[in-house]
Copies of this chain bind each other. A is one copy, B any other.
Amino acid sequence: MKSEPVIAIAGVTGAVGAEFIATLNKRGFPVRKLKALASRRSAGRTVEFRGGRIEIEELTERSFDGVDIALFSAGSAVSRRFSPVAVQAGAVVIDNSSAFRMEENVPLVIPEINGRRIREHKGIIAVPNCSAITALMPLWPIHQRNRVRRVILSTYQAASGAGAAAMQELVESTRASLAGEAFEPRVFPHPYAFNVFNHDTRIDLETGYNEEETKVIRETRKIFEDDRIAVGVTCVRVPVLRAHSQSITFACERPIDEEEVRAILASAPGVKVIDDRARNISRCRSRPRARTKSWSAVSAGT
Report the bound CA distance from A205 to B290 in whole Å: 10
Most chain B CB within a 10 A radius of its CB, from A208, A245, A258: A208
**Is A218 an interface position by the 8 A CB rule?**
no
Once A207-B290, A289-B208 are accepted as A-B contacts, the answer to whether A282 and B198 lie under 8 Å apart by CB is yes
Q: Does A152 contact B (CB under 8 A)?
A: yes
Given contacts A174-B174, A234-B296, contact A194 B154 (CB under 8 A): no
Complex interface: chain B residues within 8 A of A277 (CB): 203-205, 208
**Complex CA distance for A169 and B298, rounded to whole angstroms:** 24
Q: Are A232 and B294 in contact (CB under 8 A)?
A: yes
Segment of A60-68, A116-124, A141-149, A236-244 in the binding face:
A236-244
- A232 vs B210: C-alpha distance in the bound complex, in angstroms? 24
Q: Are A245 and B196 in contact (CB under 8 A)?
A: yes
Q: Are A247 and B236 in contact (CB under 8 A)?
A: yes
* A189 beta carbon closer than 8 Å to chain B: yes
**C-alpha gap A203/B279 in the complex (Å):** 8
The residue that A282 contacts in the complex, of B156, B197, B240, B279, with Cβ under 8 A, is B197
| Separation of A210 and B278 alpha carbons in the complex (Å) | 10
Q: Is A209 an interface residue (CB 8 A)?
A: yes
Contact partners of A296 in chain B: CB under 8 A: 232, 234
CB of A200 within 8 Å of the partner chain:
yes
- Interface-centre pick from A170, A202, A205, A239 (highest chain B CB count, 10 A): A239
Q: Report if A234-B206 is in contact (Cβ < 8 Å); known contacts: A178-B174, A197-B283.
A: no
Query: Of residues 159 to 179 in A, which have CB atoms within 8 Å of B's CB atoms?
Result: 170-171, 174-175, 178
CB of B203 within 8 A of CB of A280, answer yes
Chain B hits for A210, CB < 8 A = 280
A298 interface neighbour in B190, B206, B236, Cβ under 8 Å: B236
For A241, the chain B residues whose CB sits under 8 A away are: 194
**Complex contacts, A204 vs chain B, CB 8 Å:** 277
Is there a chain B Cβ closer than 8 Å to A215's Cβ? no
A282 to B203, CA, bound (A): 11
Ordered by A's residue number, 24 sampled pairs between the chains whose C-beta atoms are within 8 Å are A152-B249, A154-B247, A156-B238, A174-B178, A175-B178, A189-B279, A194-B241, A196-B240, A198-B282, A201-B280, A203-B277, A203-B278, A208-B277, A208-B288, A209-B289, A210-B280, A232-B291, A232-B296, A234-B289, A234-B298, A236-B298, A239-B239, A239-B240, A247-B247
